[in-house]
Amino acid sequence: MQIPMRRARLRKRTPQLTDLIRVNVLVAERSGLSRRGADTAIAGHRVTAAGRVVALGERLDALAPLELDGKALAAKPRPSVETGDELGGVEVFAWYKPVGVTTTHADPYATVTLPQALTPALGVERAARMLSIGRLDRESEGLLLLTEERRVVSPLAHPRAGLRRAYAAATKAMVAEAEFQRLRAGIRLTDGWAHAIEARGVHRDDDLPEDVRGGDMDPGQWSFISINEGRHHEVRRLYGAISHPVLRLIRVGYGPVRLGGLVSGELRLITESEREELTRALVAAPKSKARPVAPTSK
């Protein structure tokens, strides 16, 4: 018999698999070790959780107690709205991802992985700890947000935050207004409907990279599109659906953060104003709610 919701008592939510984090990530974040160093420590039975030796590949709650060589590894505090900074003081970088970089830490088919690309700017250890907020496919380039703190990755990447991804796309022929209207109205892709928040020709104030503004390609071949999520190859598939395959794709904005004067491979910390805008977006974003669970019969 179904129990009326008003009579049901809420239980403390049990973490789901998607809420849990690999133990090597937690060890790396709390100890300063690289992921590889954390794996070595775990394989050597040097990491325990409340006295129990943990195993490679195990997933734990973000606040689970951990010890390395018997010494407690303090969990980093979750961001709090009361601090006025929903990012919790976390450093966030803006990076111009070059073409050819695969946004992953390990891929046998990747020519250049994310840590390899970041090592010249950050060093081996710190580059290994960097996480991307969303992804860009290997052949795309432009703005990618980076952080060492896993706890802010999902909130900033989730569509709930309302952070638009803006792109400049080059095509062989000019995109007509009727085709822009199709992009804005919505197109059915293999994984569901998708549409552009904005789709139009490029403007002078679109903050395009210097090589685009002064390049050899006809400006009419470039167009601007923004979307509210980042499904796999979404922009490329949208343009393919209107028979305009993308020749070059550059992300020029992510929410309030702009590519600006960054050149390929360059890195910078986000500005205070960009940080404030990201914070406002996170505070305003609707929060996911745990489903109430009816009490079991005694």
Q: Which residues are catalytic?
A: 137
Alpha carbon distances (Å) from 272 to 25, 88, 96, 126, 268: 28, 13, 19, 22, 12
Eight-state DSSP code of residue 217: S
DSSP code, position 30: H
Give the CA count within 13 Å in the CB-facing half-sphere of 296.
1
CA distance 261 to 252: 10
> Smallest Cα–Cα separation from 136: which of 232, 276, 48, 25?
232
Size of the chain in residues: 298
Token look-up 């990530």 returns 25
Say if strands 165-171 and 246-254 run parallel, antiparallel, or are unpaired: antiparallel
Q: What is the 3-state secondary structure (H, E, C) of 120-188?
A: HHHCHHHHHHCEEECCCCCCCEEEEEEECCHHHHHHHHCHHHCCCEEEEEEECCCCCHHHHHHHHHCEE
Nearest to 263 by CA among 121, 129, 166, 106: 121
How do beta strands 101-102 and 112-113 pair? parallel
What would the two tokens of residue 114 be?
Answer: 């994310």
DSSP state of 225: E
